[in-house]
């Protein structure tokens, strides 16, 4: 068989393989289309040294030497050599190397004297570690010839093809145009349980009637159309029941006529089982994610319930305390801390919202010193517990930022808290502010445990604390710095860190743009709420007595007449006698939920505004509330100013107001 016929065989093979002459440079005698397509010069491969077409890359030096050593071992030992390595390939479109990993089988082909004359080089290629499935190597030569003519070929050529076909895990076979078998490789004959397949039909090889008829139709289709077909089928052989993926391809003579059909079959049972495991794992992950979201929503609801009476109680204290009272400052502190808790619960509602940077800001002009004071106040317990010395160095001039007061304080709180956590007791911590080129630079420096510079980028990844996590007494989920950096970016700024190394402390620097509006009035936590005199009669239903009674008292301080019940049934039964202007309903009440009450009132034709005030704050909860008949959906703990403003707008929207209260909407 000449070189031309040899290349015709390799052209019909699946997979990545080449026949190399055992000599200097290992020139290519024949190569499959798949492997040729990955060569540096795919248009000119035959006769060229293998490593001219698959050279070393700068990213993986020594790869050629490793593969060359495998070829030399084949020549030296006259036996097959298997190994795995990285050998990058050149992308013809760009001229750049692309990372590839190879698993190769290099088999010797001996001459009559017993010396290695050729090396059959078979590879599986994976892109950056992800493996392709192994491909079959097909003897597509002269499939119309029967075994006698094949046996008449030279012993030299027979060894080439037998080595190629019997060293693949795939099944390789040839059927004639009479739909009878001509050839099958060793691995397939073992599955069929026969020694000689010549002249046999599918039924004689162990196939059921339906299976044999199907393959006969497919062979006839390939012969008629000269086009390959592919399928997947179960088969029970000596290996038990397995799933096989197969391809039937036409073998053409020089005139283009089909003279045989060559087939390759791959056992995909294990692959399908692995895919099923992956699908099941994905289903479990989805279920875990659903359970996590449900847990977070429930936990958030449970946390919101106690926060609601806390916020209401603070509002009552502020209403009943004069601005110059020494208690007023304590009330402001309590309010700020409740605000922080509320925002943290908001984050807990949807961790994915934080992960994807979908955190909304409530931006307003805010004075720098207000932000710093709030942050220092929040971290003061940690500073005092560690007996740290905190120094604050800020510009003398008043600086106004445009941003979210709570979120900006949260960033500084995280930085100060970390400095206190990872510093020895009694250490110095410095918060320094500088104005540079129209922006503000706020740095927090400490003399604590520091870190390797390589650790710093990972500190800004979610749920990561780097090497500092080895200190077991330092608690935390590892989200503070990640969230802080994203909050800084949302403000148009940045957050970065540096360290001189372990034991040399750290510096974290927040950079923010300064507000360009010199006339903006900065806000602060110490501002007093505007008092609104409501003339409404309200029906309030909440099974949490603390939440209901405290909210009712706050609304009474705003002028409203409030009737409180602790269950949905009483709210529905007493509606007519109370004749409210607005109904405020908790959702999660026992026996009769807020949804049930809303639907029942709407069914009666009641048109007064219905407000849902609930700890359930997911988008789906809002949609369900509106579908039940609510006009508004508010999440606990609601800012009293927001609720009072809503009620005032509802009161103002009616034109039928009787003395002291609103009769209808």
Q: pLDDT, tens digit, for every residue of 211-254?
A: 899 999 999 999 999 999 998 888 776 777 788 889 999 998 88
Considering 452, 487, 513, which residue would you say is the last residue of a domain?
A: 513
The sign of the torsion formed by the CA atoms of 395, 396, 397, 403 equals: positive
User: In this predicted structure, what is the pLDDT of residue 341?
Assistant: 74
Q: For residue 497, what are the domain limits?
A: 359-513
Least reliable range by pLDDT among 10-24, 132-146, 366-380: 132-146
Are residues 539 and 501 part of one domain? no
If asked whether residues 451 and 381 sit together in one domain, one would say yes
The C-alpha atoms of residue 394 and residue 430 are separated, in whole angstroms, by: 11
List b or e across 197-220, with b for residues whose CB sees 16 or more CB atoms inside 10 angstroms.
Answer: beebebeebbbeeebbeebbebbe
CATH number of the domain enclosing 111: 3.30.450.20
481 against 342, higher pLDDT = 481
Of 201-215, 294-308, 574-588, which gets the smallest average pLDDT? 294-308
SS3 content of the chain, % helix, strand, coil (to 5): 40, 25, 35
Q: Do 508 and 641 lie in a common domain?
A: no
Residue labelled with tokens 């409210």:
580
Encoded tokens for 87:
């050998």
Q: Which of 375, 454, 453, 457 is nearest to 418 (CA)?
A: 375
pLDDT cut 90: percent of the chain above it: 31
| Residue position matching structure tokens 């445009």 | 402
Residue that terminates a domain, selected from 480, 513, 546? 513
Whether 378 and 509 map to the same domain: the answer is yes
Asked whether residue 153 falls in the same domain as residue 12, the answer is no
Question: What 8-state DSSP symbol labels residue 446?
Answer: E
Looking at the structure, do residues 482 and 366 belong to the same domain, yes or no? Answer: yes
What span, in angstroms and rounded, lies between the C-alpha atoms of 12 and 136?
10
Are 427 and 448 in contact by the 8 Å Cβ rule? The answer is yes
Q: Please tell me whether residues 534 and 662 are part of one structural domain.
A: yes
Residue 337 domain flag: no
Domain boundary, last residue among 242, 267, 292 = 267
Query: What is the domain count for the chain?
Result: 4
Pair (256, 276) in one structural domain: no
| Coil vs helix vs strand at 339 | helix
Report yes or no on 240 lying in a domain: yes
**Mean pLDDT score of the chain:** 81
Distance CA 286, CA 296 (A): 15
Do 190 and 209 have their domain in common? Answer: yes
pTM greater than 0.85 (yes/no): no
Question: 310: domain CATH number?
Answer: 3.40.50.2300
Q: Is residue 196 part of a domain?
A: yes
- Least confident range from 159-173, 445-459, 510-524: namely 510-524
141: confidence class by pLDDT, cuts 50, 70, 90:
very low
**Across-strand partners of 39?**
none
Whether residues 294 and 368 share a domain: the answer is no
- Residues 312 and 454 placed together within one structural domain of the fold: no
Claim to verify: residue 233 and residue 284 sit in the same structural domain:
no
> Cα(366)–Cα(374) distance, rounded to whole angstroms?
12
> Over the stretch 295-324, which tens digit does the pLDDT of each residue have?
766 776 677 777 777 777 877 787 777 777
């Amino acid at each position: 068989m000449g070189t031309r016929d040899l290349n015709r065989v390799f052209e019909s093979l699946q997979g990545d393989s080449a026949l190399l002459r055992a000599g200097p440079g290992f020139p290519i005698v024949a190569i499959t289309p798949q492997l040729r397509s990955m060569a540096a010069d795919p248009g000119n491969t035959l006769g060229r040294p293998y490593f001219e077409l698959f050279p070393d890359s700068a990213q993986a030096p020594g790869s050629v030497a490793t593969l060359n050593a495998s070829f030399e071992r084949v020549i030296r030992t006259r036996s097959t050599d298997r190994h795995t390595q990285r050998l990058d390939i050149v992308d013809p479109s760009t001229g750049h190397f692309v990372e590839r990993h190879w698993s190769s089988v290099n088999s010797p082909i001996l001459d009559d004297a017993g010396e290695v004359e050729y090396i059959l080089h078979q590879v599986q290629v994976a892109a950056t570690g992800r493996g392709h499935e192994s491909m079959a190597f097909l003897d597509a030569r002269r499939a119309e010839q029967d075994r006698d003519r094949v046996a008449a070929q030279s012993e030299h050529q027979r060894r080439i093809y037998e080595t190629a076909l019997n060293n693949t895990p795939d099944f390789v076979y040839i059927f004639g145009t009479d739909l009878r078998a001509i050839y099958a490789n060793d691995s397939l004959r073992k599955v069929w349980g026969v020694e000689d397949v010549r002249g046999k039909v599918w039924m004689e090889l162990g196939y059921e009637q339906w299976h044999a008829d199907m393959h006969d139709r497919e062979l006839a289709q390939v012969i008629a159309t000269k086009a390959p077909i592919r399928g997947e089928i179960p088969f029970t052989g000596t290996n038990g029941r397995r799933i096989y993926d197969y391809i039937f391809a036409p073998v053409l003579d020089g005139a283009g006529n089909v003279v045989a059909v060559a087939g390759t079959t791959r056992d995909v049972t294990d692959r399908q089982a692995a895919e099923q495991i992956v699908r099941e794992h994905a289903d479990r992950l989805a279920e875990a994610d659903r359970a996590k979201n449900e847990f977070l929503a429930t936990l958030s609801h449970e946390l919101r319930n106690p926060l609601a009476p806390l916020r209401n109680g603070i509002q009552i204290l502020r209403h009943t305390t004069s601005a110059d009272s020494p208690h007023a400052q304590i009330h402001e502190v309590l309010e700020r801390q409740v605000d922080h808790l509320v925002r943290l619960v908001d984050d807990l509602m949807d961790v994915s919202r934080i992960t994807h940077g979908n955190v909304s800001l409530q931006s307003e002009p805010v004075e720098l010193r207000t932000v710093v004071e709030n942050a220092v106040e929040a971290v003061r317990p940690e500073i005092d517990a560690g007996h740290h010395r905190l120094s604050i160095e800020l510009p003398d001039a008043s600086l106004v930022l445009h941003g979210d007061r709570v979120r900006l304080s949260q960033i500084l709180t995280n930085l100060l808290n970390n400095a206190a956590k990872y510093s020895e007791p009694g250490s110095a911590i410095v918060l320094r502010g500088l104005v540079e080129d129209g922006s503000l630079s706020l740095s927090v420096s400490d003399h604590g445990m520091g870190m390797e510079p390589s650790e710093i980028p990972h500190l800004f990844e979610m749920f990561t604390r780097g090497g500092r996590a080895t200190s077991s007494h330092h608690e935390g989920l590892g989200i503070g710095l990640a969230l802080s950096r994203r909050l800084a970016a949302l403000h148009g700024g940045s957050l970065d860190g540096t360290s001189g190394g372990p034991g040399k402390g750290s510096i974290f620097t927040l950079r923010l743009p300064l507000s360009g509006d010199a006339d903006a009035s900065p806000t602060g936590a110490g501002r007093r709420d505007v008092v609104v005199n409501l003339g409404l009669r309200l029906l309030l239903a909440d099974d949490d007595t603390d939440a209901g009674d405290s909210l009712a008292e706050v609304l009474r301080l705003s002028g409203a007449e409030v009737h409180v019940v602790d269950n949905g049934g009483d709210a529905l039964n007493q509606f007519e006698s109370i004749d409210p202007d607005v109904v405020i309903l908790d959702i999660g009440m026992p026996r009769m939920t807020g949804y049930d009450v809303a639907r029942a009132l709407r069914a009666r034709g009641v048109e007064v505004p219905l407000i849902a005030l609930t700890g359930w704050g997911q988008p789906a909860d809002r949609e369900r509330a509106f579908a039940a008949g609510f006009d508004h959906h508010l999440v606990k703990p609601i800012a009293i100013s927001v609720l009072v403003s809503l009620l005032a707008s509802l009161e103002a929207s009616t034109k039928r107001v009787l003395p002291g209260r609103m009769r209808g909407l």
